């Protein structure tokens, strides 16, 4: 592709836009400000073309590779931005696999323009059962801890059994219940639970089926995991930079604590871990051809960068001293965001149990060949 966006330029422009929209002190004073800020940033992102970065040009997007979105996700994490942009772009990842359908293509164009929002039920704890009844399909299930559901107009429901499929349904369809729960992460505000007890749909609602659905769901899961990995990288970098700046001003025994060798070593260790996470993330963002291999690599990358984010934020609180534990200092915003990143879709230990067999199987295949 000859017309690739220059990633450093994209990062710089995104950072300038986010600096204008994000205000941590205002968020701490008034939690309702998050809703207004997230909505305004979402409209701006649609105007700038961010939502369609990785959608094909045929479907109305910019046709960029995933690492363009990755650069944007890093800046969103750095700025502690709300969840709406990521929720929409993951939904577009799933919808793009069904873009041969003219109705789906029209919906994609409306989403890129900011007029509609399709929420993919991935990234949380999702259990869906399906049953065919003639020319209709009946769904029963729940999806817990979903980000970005406040303004969804459509839902993309993953079906794993008896055959892989993806159902597209309006969010206000009878039988669909979307409930918001307050999250401990003030930078995202809420997580959502979606449930449907007896959701009866025409078979035409299954926009993806079989192997095509399996591939698309793997890609959507990988996209979500890498979005959180990028978020963790951006947040880790930002809180480390702020910690280093604070250590230059705080004094003990007549000198800045940044000059203490033991603390220098801790900061150097954090910086090294961040660079390792960046290298893993860059590799995972480029190797996107094989959907199922990408899903495994993305999940492993999320595990590592999430652990780095958690350690860096915990150390940042300690290195700030007593003020790091106060509400007015924003260390806790990064720490809570890191913790929510870990909790979405299960614990890190549960994700390790899922990822480890895939990694070992891939290693065994390489050994045999």
pLDDT tops 80 at residue 368: no
Average model confidence (pLDDT) for the chain?
A: 93
pLDDT tops 90 at residue 219: yes
What per-residue confidence (pLDDT) applies to 278? Answer: 97
More confident residue, 287 or 193: 193
Express each pLDDT in 307-320 by its tens digit: 999 999 999 999 99
pLDDT tops 80 at residue 369: no
pLDDT tops 60 at residue 1: no
Q: pLDDT class for 220, splitting at 50, 70, 90?
A: very high
- Give the pLDDT mean for 24-29: 91
Q: What is the rounded CA–CA span in Å between residue 162 and residue 131?
A: 8
- Give the pLDDT mean for 288-304: 92
Find the radius of gyration of the CA atoms of the chain.
Answer: 21
pLDDT tops 90 at residue 81: yes
Judged by average pLDDT, the poorest of 47-51, 149-153, 154-158, 344-348 is 344-348
């Amino acid at each position: 592709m000859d017309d690739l966006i220059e990633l450093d330029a994209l990062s710089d422009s995104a950072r300038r836009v986010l600096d204008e929209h994000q205000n941590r002190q205002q968020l701490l004073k008034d939690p309702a400000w998050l809703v207004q800020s997230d909505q305004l940033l979402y409209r701006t992102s649609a105007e700038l073309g961010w939502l369609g970065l990785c959608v094909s040009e045929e479907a109305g997007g910019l046709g960029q590779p995933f690492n363009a979105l990755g650069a944007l996700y890093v800046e969103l994490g750095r700025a502690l931005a709300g969840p709406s942009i990521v929720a929409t772009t993951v939904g577009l990842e799933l919808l793009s696999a069904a873009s041969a359908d003219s109705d789906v293509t029209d919906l994609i164009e409306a989403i890129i323009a900011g007029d509609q929002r399709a929420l993919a039920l991935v990234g949380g704890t999702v259990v869906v059962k399906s049953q065919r009844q003639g020319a209709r399909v009946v769904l029963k299930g729940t999806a817990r801890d979903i980000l970005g559901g406040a303004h969804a107009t459509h839902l993309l429901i993953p079906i794993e059994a008896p055959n892989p499929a993806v159902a597209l349904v309006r969010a206000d369809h009878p039988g669909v219940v979307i409930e918001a729960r307050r999250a401990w992460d003030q930078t995202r505000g809420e997580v959502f639970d979606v449930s449907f007890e007896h959701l009866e749909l025409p078979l035409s609602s299954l926009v993806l089926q079989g192997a095509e659905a399996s591939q698309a769901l793997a890609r959507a899961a990988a996209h979500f995991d890498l979005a959180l990995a990028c978020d963790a990288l951006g947040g880790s970098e930002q809180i480390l930079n702020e910690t280093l700046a604070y250590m230059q001003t705080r004094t003990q025994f007549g000198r800045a604590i940044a000059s203490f060798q033991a603390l220098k070593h801790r900061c150097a260790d954090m910086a090294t871990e961040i660079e390792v996470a960046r290298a893993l993330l860059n590799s995972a963002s480029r190797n996107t051809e094989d959907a199922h291999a990408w899903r495994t690599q993305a999940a492993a990358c999320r595990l590592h960068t999430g652990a780095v984010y958690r350690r860096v934020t915990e150390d940042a609180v300690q290195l700030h001293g007593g003020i790091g534990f106060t509400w007015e200092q924003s260390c806790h915003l990064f720490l809570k965001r890191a913790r929510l990143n870990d909790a979405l879709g299960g614990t890190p230990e549960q994700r390790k149990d899922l990822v480890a067999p895939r990694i070992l199987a891939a290693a065994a295949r390489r050994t045999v060949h």
